[in-house]
Amino acid sequence: MDQQASSIQVDVVGLKKLYRCITDLRYSSGQANPHDLWTDELFVPNFVYPLTPVNARDVHSMASHIESLERARRLLYHIGGLLDERIHTLTSQTSKVFAAFGRGLESLPYEVLAIILEQAADLKSEDPKSPLRLSHVSRRFRSVMLSLPKAWCAISSDMDSEWVDTVLARSRSSGMQVQFKGVNDFGDAIHSLAHTLPFSDRWRSFALHAAFRPDLDAVSQFSDFRKRCLDLKLPRLVHAEFHFDDNHPISIEARHPDIHLFTTWDAPNLRSLTMTNSIPNLFNSPNLTKFTMRFECLTTFAQRNLRPFFAFLAGNPQLKELALHFSCYFPAILQTPRLVHTTIESLSIEVEYAEFEWIPQRAAILAILTSMSLPKLTALDVNATFEGGKSTSDYWDDEDDISEDDDGLEVSDMLFDMLPLPGLCPAIKRCSLRVLGYELTHPELSLHRVLHAMPNLEHLRIDTNLDLESSMCTCPVASASPSEMLVWPKIRTLELNHCEDVIIDWVEDFVSWLQRAPGAWERFEMLTVRACAELQKAELLEFIPKEKLTWVKEIMFEEEHENDPLEGAFEDGLFSDGSNKEAPLYMFDDECVGTRLIF
């Protein structure tokens, strides 16, 4: 052997550090981080340095070098023992987990296992190769995964060419979901687009989430990307989504007049369109039935001018579902035209409030909703988040004109402003209210005004962490005014879902009011109580018949079980994400009593 290749340069100090790290890991029951073993500061200097010559005449250097090599050999011996021990431990635990979990899954019918694996591989944006990893678990998993067309249909801009080719081969009959999310550099997006354009006849969905940089290269790249996407024939496309993060003082429509790529597409089967921060131009899509508009960054006057938005709604009379999301600051009250839409049946409203935005957002949302008349609207879904810190008095010069109670009424008043006027939407029969409040001075929610906006309401679902005021249910029927009599006129089902602070008195007042109102209790069908901490089943059954109560209780299993094959699996990283710990499972018994299990 060549003399220059007969020695290794070894850092003794680094070896001692590595040896101590190994020792700590061995005697701490695996509490040390194994990744510390392979840091550049320890592993590279001691085991990856190139071979270096040693002066054969320097006996002292030779002896020191031999000693260093002996230490390195002992260290490698300890590393080998540690790795053998860890391999044995993980192999044993994996076999136990598979015996209790994997074999149970494999014994399921093919159709059930296919549903489970398809759901497990559904997070394509976070882990695009999850179908491939699931197919490597076992042969049966592989056979099931290869037969699931939906698991191989997503193509994103962060995929490499090899994986794109795999998806293209597997998605021949199922269609493709083309996703360009988090795009800052359109150069990479163009590369992925080039692979999928020849197969555009397979596209079933298209999503573009882009942030625009002001430099010329970015403008040129987007221009190239846009040109490639113009005039496409997409016979199978059913959903398109465009999200633009843009804080430029000039509107994105003014800087990129052709940003709405879909207006040039031949997509006769497009049924759903989602837009963020950009109002679409009017285009012909006879099968478009669902439209979602997200207001997140309205920084220019052109974006705050909602006439094109109402023109788009008016130009698509076949729409049946409309969803509006508000999470931005409206610097001015919007002037909107009047719109009468006779086919929209479902409306979803989502609002995220910050403390300093309450008043301007409230006025803007009110201006939008009061401009729309939806006579065929039957289903309403409201999701609102309120954050405290400032009251309405902070926006007025004379604080003496506002009483202390006004701060507590803000949530109810603002929620009422988020609802369509009764005269504009008289046919609402189903409503879902999800209202969350944080750091509020008076965390109370009054449904009195809210329900007056829906006189024909039959099904109501409430999900809130606020206190529900019971004054609306306590008035005697005989002495109630006509307005109070209309609170629960036609209600048939009520669902209380995760209402943390709803007490038994509120439910009792509600039932008492129904029993006294003519025909109301006979018309009422079911009260569903799901995971409400302050309510007890036994107390509810004292005044509610069993056939009119569905009870779902939430139970947390925190005790440890002996001889549990899954014990220690979380600590050893087999389920390092911890997702299974929060997986909910609802079970119902013969008495319509449910239990929510959280593992």
Residue 435: strand, helix, or coil: strand
For residue 450, is it within any domain?
no
Q: How far apart are CA 66 and CA 51, in angstroms?
A: 14
pTM of the predicted structure, to 2 decimals: 0.69
Q: How far apart are CA 319 and CA 226, in angstroms?
A: 27
Tell whether 158 and 237 lie within a shared domain: yes
Tell whether 292 and 191 lie within a shared domain: yes
212 within 8 A of 241, measured Cβ to Cβ: no
Could you tell me which of 284, 283, 275 has the C-alpha nearest to residue 306?
275
- Per the structure, how many domains does the chain have? 4
Tell whether 243 and 159 lie within a shared domain: yes
- Both tokens of residue 226? 């846009």
Tell whether 302 and 164 lie within a shared domain: yes
For residue 455, is it within any domain?
no
Tell whether 297 and 175 lie within a shared domain: yes
Q: How far apart are CA 583 and CA 560, in angstroms?
A: 18
For residue 427, is it within any domain?
yes
For residue 509, is it within any domain?
no
Question: What confidence score (pLDDT) does residue 370 get?
Answer: 84
- φ, ψ (nearest 5 deg) of residue 534: -90, 0
Last residue of a domain, one of 421, 445, 469: 445
- Side chain identity at 537, as an amino acid letter? K
- φ, ψ (nearest 5 deg) of residue 563: 55, 35
Last residue of a domain, one of 418, 445, 472: 445
Start-to-end CA distance of the chain, whole Å, equals: 61
pLDDT of the chain, 599 residues: tens digit per residue: 444 444 444 455 555 555 566 555 555 554 445 445 444 445 544 554 434 555 666 666 667 667 767 777 777 777 778 778 888 887 777 676 666 555 667 677 878 888 878 777 764 445 666 777 777 777 888 888 877 777 777 777 777 777 777 777 777 777 888 888 766 667 777 777 888 888 888 888 998 887 766 555 666 777 788 888 888 899 999 999 988 776 554 555 555 556 677 888 888 999 999 988 777 877 778 899 999 998 876 655 445 677 888 888 998 999 999 999 887 666 555 667 888 899 999 999 998 875 545 555 677 777 788 888 999 999 999 998 887 754 444 433 444 443 444 444 467 777 777 777 777 888 899 999 998 888 777 778 878 777 777 888 999 999 998 888 754 444 444 444 444 444 567 899 999 999 988 889 999 988 988 888 888 899 999 999 998 988 999 999 999 999 999 998 764 433 333 333 333 333 333 333 333 333 333 333 334 443 333 32
What stretch of H or E contains 10? none
Buried/exposed code over 503-513 (b: 16+ C-beta within 10 A; e: otherwise) = eeebbbbbbbb
| DSSP per-residue string spanning 213-241 | -SSHHHHHHHHHHHHHHTT-B-TT--EEE
Residue 264's Cβ-count burial label (10 Å; 0-12, 13-18, 19+) is: middle
510 within 8 A of 549, measured Cβ to Cβ: no
For residue 220, is it within any domain?
yes
3-state helix, strand, coil in the chain (%, to 5): 40, 20, 40
Tell whether 356 and 382 lie within a shared domain: yes
The CA–CA distances, whole Å, from 166 to 118, 163, 174, 195, 239 equal 17, 5, 14, 12, 23
Tell whether 122 and 178 lie within a shared domain: no
Tell whether 170 and 302 lie within a shared domain: yes
Name the residue range of residue 340's domain.
320-445
Last residue of a domain, one of 416, 445, 474: 445
Tell whether 141 and 169 lie within a shared domain: no
- Both tokens of residue 113? 């296992």
For residue 576, is it within any domain?
no
Question: What confidence score (pLDDT) does residue 431 get?
Answer: 93
Question: What confidence score (pLDDT) does residue 385 get?
Answer: 85
Q: How far apart are CA 584 and CA 276, in angstroms?
A: 31
Tell whether 399 and 377 lie within a shared domain: yes
For residue 176, is it within any domain?
yes
Could you tell me which of 475, 595, 456 has the C-alpha nearest to residue 530?
595
Q: What is the dihedral of CA 522, 523, 526, 532, to 10 degrees?
A: -90
For residue 589, is it within any domain?
no
Tell whether 333 and 291 lie within a shared domain: no
Tell whether 258 and 290 lie within a shared domain: yes
- Both tokens of residue 405? 């109670």
List the beta strands (DSSP E) in 5-60. none
525 within 8 A of 495, measured Cβ to Cβ: no
State the number of CA atoms in the 13 A half-sphere of 121 facing the CB: 27
- Side chain identity at 335, as an amino acid letter? Q
